[in-house]
Every structure is written in C-alpha cells, then in structure tokens.
Amino acid sequence: MPEVTYLRPENIQDAVQLYRTTPGCRLLAGGTDLMVMLHAGTLRPQPRAVLDVWSLRELKGVRRVGDALEIGAAESYTGIIRSADANRYVPALVAAARTIGAAQIQNRGTLGGNLANASPAGDTLPVLLAYDAVVVTDRRTIRIDNFFLGYRKTALQADELITAVRVPLDRDVVFRKVGTRAAQAISKIVMAVCRAPARVAVGSVAEVPMRAGGAERALAEGDVAGAVGAVAADIRPIDDVRSTADYRRAVTQNVLRELLDAFTRE
C-alpha cells in the first residue's frame, strides 16, 4: 500500500479547512468501505492523505431539529439503532441499519459513508429517498433526489463534506431487503415505500438508488395493481454475479406487492 498521510482534526472547522487545502485528500469515517478499497488499491486517484472525521463531535448524534430528525454524518448504525428518536420517528431507517453487515460493521459504518460511497446496493439509500431526506454539507443542503448523479457519482464537490442528514418526522415508510441471507449480504434488491406522499424507492436495480416514477404515479391514485405492474418498467436491472435482471424484476414486483399489502392491512 503506498504511503498515505493520516490527518485527525480536532473540530469541524479544522476538518473543513484541511479538506479544502490538502491535495489528494480523502475523508475517512468508519473506514468500512474506504479501508477495503485502500488495501485493494482500487481507489482512483490513489489518495495522498486521509482525513479522519470519525471522532468529530459535530458529526455525531441523532436529534430533533424543527420538523426533522437530524442524524450526524459520522453517526454509526449502532448509534442509530440505539436512538429512541430514530426508533420513534424513522423506524424504516433503523430497520435498514439492522440489516447492514454484522455487529462490527454496524459499530463503525456511518450514514455519511453510505451516502458518499453511493453504491447502487447501499441499504440506507432507498430509505432516505422514500423519506425525502436532505443531505446537509459544510456549505449547503442537497435534496436526496438530486444527490445520486450516476454510478457511484454524487452531487458532492471534491472538497465537500457531509455533516448530517435530515429526515422529516411525519412519514410512514416501510423497508425490505432481499439478499442471499437475511443479514450480512449485499442486497439483491432493497426497497422503501412511503404511502403519502407516494414514494417507491429501490436499490440494486439500476446504476443508482432510484425512485420508481410510474409506480409512484399509480400509487398516488390508489392503484396498487398498477403500481406493481409499473415498477418492472421503471427499474433498469442488469445480470450480475448476485442475480439476473429478470429475477430482480420479478422480486421487485413481489416486494412492492408485499409492502403495499402491509399498508392496506394496517
């Protein structure tokens, strides 16, 4: 592994300053994605420095801010799972956090890391889409709809740091992940649905985590069968080592039907 300078700022102001002024610098939160890529030598360009934001107090915690729940970018999945406010207001995000890796990964993995890594299979990402979350950075807010620009490409600028994620308090969202196993598996498909406003968000079925527009339009009109029919055309799955495109289309429809049935049973 090539030599990399390790930087650990004391506070958010120093972190922002260092990130803007250190050439070839990469942020390090829990390291569960970054360290794997660093060791494998797959990061392009190879970083010359890493800036460790894991311990920054300003990026931790789950708190109510007005009519939203604000989750610090470097808050771990374990922190989210243990938060009474997260369980009360954003249970679908807690459900997604519980499916991520095993305990070691939940102790270190962060929401900011999941967002910035922008894997199409990132488990929290459809949930954040279904909640209409807002990504807060050191300089602006970005609606989650505008965050994923392409395969692992986000709206973040090269020296922009996510500080928090804001999720509205009043949404009823449900979540489901289909993997090879119930936990510790990369998703074959992952879905989150909000009944009102109608949101159908899906992961692992396109180059980005996406909202299914046709399904949402049908759902907004109360047409459950129409939504299930439309979602197969909305998504853009591929064949890969985990699944075929046809399998993903069929499973996406089944999962949407199940989640919508769960709403009608309530």
Ligand X SMILES: Cc1cc2nc3c(=O)[nH]c(=O)nc-3n(C[C@H](O)[C@H](O)[C@H](O)COP(=O)(O)OP(=O)(O)OC[C@H]3O[C@@H](n4cnc5c(N)ncnc54)[C@H](O)[C@@H]3O)c2cc1C
In the complex, which residues of this chain contact ligand X (CB under 6 A)?
26-34, 36, 53, 73, 99-101, 105, 108-110, 112-114, 116-117, 122-123, 161-162
Nearer to ligand X, 157 or 244 (CB): 157
Q: What is the CA radius of gyration of the chain?
A: 18
Nearer to ligand X, 125 or 227 (CB): 125
- Alpha-carbon gap, residue 19 to 247, rounded angstroms: 43
Q: 208 — phi, psi (to 5°)?
A: -135, 155
Nearer to ligand X, 114 or 218 (CB): 114
Q: Tell me if residue 30 falls in helix, strand or coil.
A: coil
The residue of the chain with the least Cβ separation from ligand X equals 113
Q: Find the shortest distance in angstroms from Cβ 123 to ligand X.
A: 4
Q: Find the shortest distance in angstroms from Cβ 59 to ligand X.
A: 6
Q: Find the shortest distance in angstroms from Cβ 222 to ligand X.
A: 32
Q: Find the shortest distance in angstroms from Cβ 265 to ligand X.
A: 28
Task: Sort 49 into a burial class: Cβ within 10 Å, 0-12 / 13-18 / 19+.
Answer: middle
Helix axis angle, 224-234 to 245-265, nearest 10°: 150
Nearer to ligand X, 27 or 255 (CB): 27
Nearer to ligand X, 29 or 68 (CB): 29
Q: 24 — phi, psi (to 5°)?
A: 65, 35
What residue has token string 């009360």? 88
Q: Find the shortest distance in angstroms from Cβ 67 to ligand X.
A: 24
Q: 146 — phi, psi (to 5°)?
A: -100, 10
